[in-house]
Amino acid sequence: MSSLDRVKAGEFLSATLDMDSVFVGGEWQLQSGVSFQLRSRGVLIIEPNVISRSTKSIIVSAGVHGDETGPIELLQQLSGEILKGLFEPAHRLLFIIAHPEATLAHTRFIAENMNRLFAHRNEPNNIDRKIANTLQQEVDHFYQGSDIADVQDGVSRWHLDLHSAIRDSAHYTFAVSPCSAYPTRSNALFAFLEQAEVEAVLLSRADSPTFSWYSASKYGAQALTMELGRVAKLGENDLERLSAFDCALRVLLQQEEQPYSWQGSKLIVYKVTRTITKLSDDFNFNFPASQANFTFFEQGCLLGQDQDKQYFSLEGGEAVVFPNPHVALGQRACLLVQQAAVTAEGQIKVV
């Protein structure tokens, strides 16, 4: 059975991971009118039977870090149902299993962190850079292939980039809203997070070359990097703990309009106060490298040092997210955050 036939049969994941088979793309349609285009390995466009002004263009990506497999399993379950005609979406969809080589190698990446490669087209001198370039092209094609909305109307464009955390966390699920010059923090997006029972969201204030940032900054998409649970091997993820997210995602994809609004009662909102960048090989934290995400440090605590520069917790204290002293020079070593009060008049903004 060819890779195309396997995808048609609902085996999007296994066809993507079968690197021994020659990739064969193609287009086809179900009797319901739902159409498909397998554009490249791990890249599948799905079009609903009817497209209207209320139709969204939604990207759901997983596996940008290859060993973060829980979201990959969720994407396989959902794509399988759509491919078999058991679930009919109301919106244009782009499903991406991003880095099959890294998934097969049980590692985050092969040569360098692919989720730092979306600032621009990269010199294609390793597999991570080649894939990042391809994914940028696929996003361009997908969003430009619809005249539903222009870049100013970001509520019609969404991108949920799904990950799993590599460390313990005070929040089992959380999201990062990338910085963008466009209105990419809509009430609808935060209502989705609340329905998905995502515990917290971080509002970034600076550009960061991540996959979700690419969609938010270039296309004004309602984009999030979503951390869903902990890293585990394929087949060993506790998807039951992600059932609320799975349910909310299905509602988003199947309903023309969301049947709920943001209540602002459950979701904890953090503002990013600082991004600490590794400047030298002498960089280190004053706490274990395995420190849990959202560990809080009182004002004045020494957080780390980089040669003669020291980092202390600011007034009000700060919590640390994504601490990693082993990143390459010039890359983010951690985020520092504080809880924030927000207003919700159309867009979510820090008070």
Q: For residue range 312-327, what is the model confidence (pLDDT) as tens digits? A: 999 999 999 999 999 9
To the nearest whole percent, how much of the chain has pLDDT over 90? 86
163 marked as part of a ligand binding site: yes
- In the block, tokens 């460390």 appear at 167
Question: How many H helices and E strands in the chain?
Answer: 8, 18
Cα–Cα nearest to 114, from 25, 18, 225: 225
The encoded tokens of residue 200 equal 């917290």
Residue 154: predicted pLDDT: 54
More confident residue, 266 or 302: 302
pLDDT band at 274 (very low <50, low <70, confident <90, very high): very high
Q: Are 249 and 276 members of one domain? A: no
Residues 48 and 106 in one domain: yes
Query: In sequence order, what DSSP letters do the residues of 249-273 get, joined into one string?
Result: HHHHHH-SS-S-----SS-EEEEEE
Residue 270: pLDDT over 50: yes
Q: What is the pLDDT of residue 95?
A: 99
Q: How far apart are CA 4 and CA 153, in angstroms?
A: 34
Tell me: the pLDDT tens digits for 207-245?
A: 999 999 999 999 999 999 999 999 999 999 999 999 999
Q: What is the rounded CA–CA span in Å between residue 159 and residue 13?
A: 20
* CA distances from residue 193 to 11, 63, 93, 126, 329 in whole angstroms, order as listed: 28, 20, 19, 35, 33
| One domain for residues 306 and 195 | no
Together in a domain, 140 and 43: yes
pLDDT range class, residue 275, cuts 50, 70, 90: very high
Give yes or no: residues 239 and 301 share one domain.
Answer: no
What mean pLDDT, rounded, does the chain reach? 94
Whether 3 shows a pLDDT value over 70: the answer reads yes
Select the more confidently predicted residue: 345 or 161: 161
Whether 180 shows a pLDDT value over 80: the answer reads: yes
Domain co-membership, 233 together with 316: no
Give 48-83 pLDDT, tens digit per residue: 999 988 899 999 999 999 999 999 999 999 999 999
How large is the average pLDDT for residues 238-266? 90
Please indicate, yes or no, if residue 286 is contained in any of the structural domains: yes
Instruction: Assess whether 179 and 303 both reside in one domain.
Output: no
Instruction: Note the pLDDT of residue 141.
Output: 97
Residue 260 counted as domain residue: no
CATH number at residue 221: 3.40.630.10
Q: Is the pLDDT assigned to residue 151 strictly greater than 80?
A: no
List the single range of 124-133, 177-186, 200-209, 258-267 with lowest mean pLDDT: 258-267
pLDDT band of 153, cuts 50, 70, 90: low
Judgement on whether residues 76 and 172 belong to the same structural domain of the protein: yes
Containing structural domain, residue 286: 271-350
Tell whether 65 is in a known binding site: yes
Catalytic residues: 227
CA 129, CA 116: separation in Å to the nearest integer?
10
231 and 116, same domain (yes or no): yes
Residue 92 has pLDDT above 50, yes or no: yes
- Cα-based torsion angle of the residue sequence 332, 336, 339, 344 in order, rounded to the nearest 10 degrees: -30
pTM of the model: 0.94
The pLDDT of residue 148 is: 46
Residue 315 falls inside a structural domain: yes
User: Does residue 203 register a pLDDT over 60?
Assistant: yes
Across residues 13-42, what is the average pLDDT? 97
Q: Tally the domains of the chain.
A: 2
Whole-angstrom distance between the N-terminal and C-terminal Cα of the chain?
A: 57
- pLDDT in the model for residue 213: 98
Same domain (yes/no): 142, 60: yes
